[in-house]
Structures are given as structure tokens and as C-alpha cells.
Chains A and B, each alone.
Chain A
């Protein structure tokens, strides 16, 4: 096993017990003992030990990489499109990729798969790409796991990027999970922070775990590319620069790579909300306190004025007041808008984990002891059926809508 306690150095101080997220350490006879069935070798205890009494052997030493790491250069961004429209998260990724590439003194490439998408390549360059690889084929119009995987694997093997970023969308998360397995490389999901360890030329990927209660920084030392997915709204896009120039390269693929065993029979867009929850800058969300399906109308009115999306707590979804696709929280979506307005939501932890990364949280609730007020930037204690319509009316005047 690759973790051990140096008995001579251990003082039995129990600092490591508190640091262990897996409850795997006990003190027996004044010495720490690690339960290897529980230990996940995460290394949290190493930093906690003031006596350097815990040793962990990290088998993935950069020196032992089976690859020639210096062959891998450049930062790639997957330019996800739907109906030939580049998805907003791509602009955010390009900005971050730009920053990472500048630190590494390398360049940014976007990879675009679709049908009739060539004219979108210029747009990607204006937002930070130096180069765009695109594959144009009718069969790539809608996302399908297999052809998209085949083509990305092929392109990555051909050009060998060192970093590959993708949006943590329903497409991105399905696609790159498959790509990373096929390439035998590391993938870190839902990163909220990306930075470079310049000395080792490694991507430092920080992400929340345990419902956001813990943050972990993860590396892929020996394999390439270092792959990460990133949620919406974590990074900010660059301003469009119409003077930026770049290279646009069309890639031709062999016929076989476009084959898919799955096929799309129908695409159905539900029109219950005009604004996509994960991309919205503002979300107006309702919980048990809304009381009925009909009452959600007052939230929809407010959302309309603010150009916001409508969210719901699990209680509201389970009561049948809103469709599941609007649910925010542990068993629904995770969102991080600029403003999250929680109306009649008590703030159970399962809800909080889905929205606590929002920049500003506004809570409207008649119960002054509701837990939502513990995380709210601005809390209003009062009757939402009075406050929300009044807020809508006043905002209409202020915003001149």
C-alpha cells in the first residue's frame, strides 16, 4: 500500500483525524492508524501533519509518464454548437484558455464540429482563438456520442494538445467522459478554478465535491491532454475583438468515423421557459411557499421583466407545480447566476448546494428563521405575494419595460 505512518515521528496529536474526509484514521496506543478500507489516498492528511509522519507514495510521478510530454502543446476548447449557434459557455472557455495559453506561451485552438458551421470559425477567433479546426458534415448537425467521440479522438491524436477544455453541459459531460477513456487520460469535471503550475507545466484543476462542502485541486501529471469540463458562468468571456486574425483549418475524416449506433428520432423543445436555466444571468426561483402551480405566474412575471429564468425547489417540483427541468438543487441542476431570487424557499441544504455559488442571493420569505437567510446577500422578511408583484411593478418603471 502506498500510504504509511512513520511511527517514530507520529505524536498521536490527532490533527490528521480531523483532516481526513473519509474518516479513515484512528489513534491506537497514541499513534495514528489508517484504515486502508476507508482511505482513498487523497492526501488531505499529509498537509495536516506537522511532524511529517505520514508518507504517501504517488505512483504518478511526472518523470514516469509513458508519453513524451513535450510533444503536447497548445490549449484546446471544444466549441459546442446547437443548431449552428455557438453555446455561450464557449466564449467563457476561450477567455480562460487564452489566459492559460499566455502563461504557457502557447496558443489557443477551438475545435468545431457541425454542419454548415464554417462561418462560425471567424467568431471563435474574435473571442480569443488563434486557430479553429472544423469538421463539416451533415451527420454532425445534432450531437451524437459516437461520431463526436471518434472525431475528437482522431484530432487530439493528430495534433496533441496539452490541455482540452469543454463546457459542463449535457453534451459536454457525455462526450468528453467517453473521449478521455478512449485516450486514456485524466478528466476533471465541473472545474471552478483553472491555473498553471509553471514549474511542472501542469494544469491545476479546482472543483467542488461533496455538494460544494469541500474543494479539491486535481492534476493529470502523466497523461495528455489534461481534460476538464467547466460550468457556465464560472469565467467571463473576453470582449469581441474584430481585428483578431487566426487560422481556419478544415479537417476531412474517413467515412467510418461518422457512423453512430444511436440515432435521434426527434428533438423536442419545451417552451415552459424562454431562458435556459444554466445560462441565465438572473434566476427567479420558487419553493413550497408559492403554494400552487397558478401562483408561479407571479414569478414568471418578475422573470420576464428581468429577462430571467424561472427555477424551482424540489418541494415545488414534487408538488407538480413546475416541471423537473426547472429544479435547482442536489437532484436537479446546479446554477450560478449573477442574481438568484429565492421566493418562498426555506433553504434546505439540498437546495443550497445547487445555488450557493450565485454571486448575489436574494431571499423573500415570511419566516425570519428560514435557513435561506443564512446565505442570502439580501433577505426580505415578508409576504412574497405582496412583495414580488410590487417588485415587478417597480422594476417595470425603473427598467422602462
Chain B
């Protein structure tokens, strides 16, 4: 089984904070990590390979420093890493990103499964996974919490919904986006870390992917950011303590208008 995992390097989101005095972002010392949801996609790929043999490839689109995310994935046990990097990719929105990634997947050629995390923790769009499958014109299942069965033609998966889950049969190749419940990602082994250091990372630019330059980067992105600003900071309100019956009555009187 040939599995491609798409990952994104993101800033440790929760560390991106706003300086209340200057109303600007503080990014000093913010670490770059693999998007948390992509860790589940990587783990699932490794597990499938361990069970059914085959090959796992991790790809990421990003600046040259995103190579470290690929090495982390290799250390977990992924076989190959491909960095898709080019200055002309700057400003790509989800349309242009999914176009670029889909072209890279086509260049890889043989694949049975494309795995993505359900969304990235910086953008939170959840659009790139379905976007890739739309560009490749293959089926997709989003919010996958379990791969029940898989063979070289089909797989049966559980898709999380608001009320529970659906059991879905899909032919391969397809794109699956996964949620946290699917597995528990492993830590890299010492051997994995050694191998990750020695493995050559493949680099592809826009030219190698034969991309239509009208469809990449800012130029190829239908959406455009016009303004970035900090949200109004949420302030703490009143904190009270005391006799249980007193605090309960006080709380109820404060909430009175909002209660059903």
C-alpha cells in the first residue's frame, strides 16, 4: 500500500499572543511544530504500513525551514519526505495550496491513500484535504475516526458527525482527513531519529511540478487577506466565594435573564 501524508508546519499556535500595550503579536521564541492533527495522519500511515507493508511518503508545502517537520515525520517511521518549496508559493490560500499539493501527489504517481489532519491549528480552515481530493477528482471522507477495514480496492471508515458517526465505504485511491480519536501518535525512536538525519529530503519547486503559474501563490489564490487585527481581549469578571447556598443564589440571580 502506497500512502501519502500531507502535513503542515505551524507555529505553536497557543503561544502566538498579543502584547496588550502595543496591540501587536509577540512571536519571540515561538516554536514551529507539526500541525497536531497531522500527527494522527502520520501515525495512521505508519500503522497501515506495518500491517499491510508498502511505502509511506510525507509531503509538505512551505518555506525551506519546513524541512524540519519532514525530518520529524521520518523519525516517527515515514519512509520518504518531499518538500515542496518555491518563493512563488507565498500567499497561497487553500485553493492554490490544494492545487499545488495535488500536483505533487500526481508527480509521486502511485498512491492508494492520501491522509491529512482534519485541519491545521493556525488557519483552522479544514479546506485543504477536501481541496486536494477535488483537484485529483477522487473520493474523500472527512473527520475519519477509524479505518475499520482496508484492502487494495476499498476501505471502510467511520466518519465523525455532530450526532455520532457514519460508516462509509469508499474505493481507493481516496483522501481521508482524520481526527484525534483515530490513534495515539508514537514518539520517534532513537533509530528513527538517526535514520531521519541521514535520509535525503527531496525538494520540488514550481517548475519541477509543471505548475500553471496563474494558479499558484497569491496570484492563483481567489481569496485575499485585507486586514489583520487583534480581537477584543476577553476580560475576567467577578470572582466570588463563600457559603455554597449564597454563591449559588448569587450566580442564579446573575444568570437569570439567560436561563431557559
Contact = CB atoms under 8 A, between A and B. Distances in A.
Contacts of B229: 214-217
Interface in B57-76: 63-65
Interface residues on A, range: 35 or more
A222 interface: yes
Interface in B20-61: 22, 24-25, 27, 30, 36-37
Interface stretch (A110-118, A240-248, A263-271): A263-271
Given A21-B25, A218-B223, A278-B162, A189 B126 contact: yes
A362 B255 contact: yes
Interface residues of B, number: 95
Nearest to A389: B244
Contact of A267 (B30, B37, B164): B164
B14 interface: yes
Contacts of B192: none
A218 B237 contact: no
Given A174-B130, A178-B133, A376 B239 contact: yes
A210 B125 contact: no
B228 A18 contact: no
A265 B98 contact: no
B162 A169 contact: yes
Contacts of B240: 378-381
B252 A395 contact: yes
A35 to B, nearest CB: 9
B198 interface: no
A214 B30 CA distance: 15
A374 B222 contact: no
Contacts, number: 309
Query: Chain A interface secondary structure, helix, strand, loop or mixed?
Result: mixed
Contacts of A394: 245, 248-249, 252
Contacts of A186: 93, 95, 221-224
Interface of A: 1-2, 18-21, 23, 36-44, 47-48, 58-60, 82, 142, 145-146, 149, 169-171, 173-174, 177-178, 180-182, 184-190, 204, 208-223, 261-270, 276-279, 281-282, 306-307, 324-325, 327, 330-332, 338-339, 349-350, 353, 356, 359-360, 362, 368, 373-382, 386-387, 390-391, 394-395, 398-399
Interface of B: 11, 13-14, 16-19, 22, 24-25, 27, 30, 36-37, 63-65, 87, 90-91, 93-95, 98-99, 121-127, 129-131, 133-135, 139-143, 145, 156, 159-171, 174, 179-181, 218-219, 221-231, 234-241, 244-245, 247-249, 251-252, 254-255, 258-260
